[in-house]
Amino acid sequence: MAISIAFFNNKGGVGKTSLVYHLAWMFADLGQRVVAVDLDPQANLTAAFVDEERLEALWEESEGSTIYRTLSPLIRGIGDIGDPKLEKIVDGLFLLPGDLQLSSFEDDLSNQWPEASDGKERAFRVLSAFWRIQQRAAAEQQANLILMDLGPNLGAINRAALIGADYIVTPVSPDLFSLQGLKNLGPTVKRWREQWKQRLSKRPAGDLELPEGRMEPAGYVVLQHAVRLDRPVKAYAKWVQRIPAVYRESVLGENGEMAPEFQADPHCLALTKHYRSLMPLAQEARKPIFHLKPADGALGAHLSAAQEAGRDFAALARAIARRVGLILPPP
């Protein structure tokens, strides 16, 4: 089965969608077959991959063209999940499009969580639907990697998404709100993992495949910090230095008193830079910033910054691959 990685923090505004978008492209560049899955009801990842005209067509097509349409038979009680229809972005990179209607699935997911404790089959079908759709999509495209973009909350949609994740990468920003989000995230994910294990012991007999609910922490990525001479400015420095201890205590359940500085923290996958001046060019060209060329308007310093971004994202992709046991070709 494909390795499934969720990018999740219940604090918004940490650059999560941009991170998933660029890593999906980078892993494809590194020879992997990737399915990017948009499970945020705001569908921002889908909007990053496809233009508005195609997005409108996806949301108006009648059968199975988005995650919600694939769920429709199950939601309506007339069957199980449908066959996913993926958008091919380039060779080796596919998108399972998001849908604003996905938010209407929240109540059903919430209601079925306690029902699974009683071993009811429909509850397990509903709760495992995201995972089964993703794995079916990956199998059809012979993909070995699934990257999930989730919304910034601790609701039932994200709980159902995370039980299908092998690993969780946590984007954080160096501020009070993001650290508070980590403190909420860790205990909640631990509780969901334990509760899903309990439910699996009540699984109904039959051939229904279910996710293990690994949800293993793979590390964190520090995003959206201001840079001066390649170091965070003073206003952010104190928050950056607190992240390793909070991550250990809240996410890993370890003693954070002896945590190293973030530069030496093995759980810190990367400290990304701002590429604000490049983002409008990338959005206009509908490509990652590290694919920008002079013809896209990336000239001089912009072109150098785009090339640097490529090196940064390649290093991050390799760091994640090491954590999840994914073998990449040598640099």
Instruction: Report residue 166's pLDDT band, with 50, 70 and 90 as the boundaries.
Output: very high
Name the CA radius of gyration of the chain, rounded: 20
Asked if 38 and 97 touch (Cβ cutoff 8 Å), the reply is: yes
For CA atoms 274, 279, 282, 286, the dihedral sign is positive
| 3-class SS of residue 232 | strand
- Rounded CA-CA distance 24/73 in Å is 29
Would residue 228 count as lying in a domain?
Answer: yes
Would residue 114 count as lying in a domain?
Answer: yes
Would residue 46 count as lying in a domain?
Answer: yes
The answer to which of 58-72, 96-110, 133-147, 228-242 has the lowest mean pLDDT is: 228-242
Instruction: Report residue 63's pLDDT band, with 50, 70 and 90 as the boundaries.
Output: low
Token pair 């999740």 is found at 8
Please give the tally of structural domains in the chain.
1
Would residue 81 count as lying in a domain?
Answer: yes
Q: How many CA atoms lie within 13 A of 20 on its CB side?
A: 35
Copy the structure tokens of residue 154: 């601790």
CATH number at residue 12: 3.40.50.300
Q: Please provide the size of the chain in residues.
A: 331
Would residue 19 count as lying in a domain?
Answer: yes
Of 146, 142, 112, residue with least CA distance to 126: 112
218 backbone dihedrals φ, ψ, rounded to 5°: -105, -5
Residue 228 scores a pLDDT above 60: no
Asked if 109 and 159 touch (Cβ cutoff 8 Å), the reply is: yes
What DSSP string runs through 247-291? IIIIII----TT---GGG-TTEEEEPPP-TTTHHHHHHHTS-GGG
pTM of the model: 0.94
Residue 233 scores a pLDDT above 70: no
Would residue 33 count as lying in a domain?
Answer: yes
Q: Pairing between strand 93-96 and 87-90?
A: antiparallel
Residue 231 scores a pLDDT above 90: no
pLDDT tens-digit series, residues 300-322 = 888 998 999 999 999 999 999 99
Q: Which residues pair with 270 in a beta bridge?
A: 221
Would residue 224 count as lying in a domain?
Answer: yes
Residue 57 scores a pLDDT above 80: yes
Percentage with pLDDT > 70 across the chain: 95
Q: In sequence order, what are the residues at sequence separation of 6 or more whose Cβ sits closer than 8 angstroms to the Cβ of residue 322?
A: none
Residue 191 scores a pLDDT above 70: yes
214: domain range?
A: 3-232
pLDDT tens-digit series, residues 172-186 = 988 888 888 899 999
163 backbone dihedrals φ, ψ, rounded to 5°: -65, -20
Would residue 299 count as lying in a domain?
Answer: no
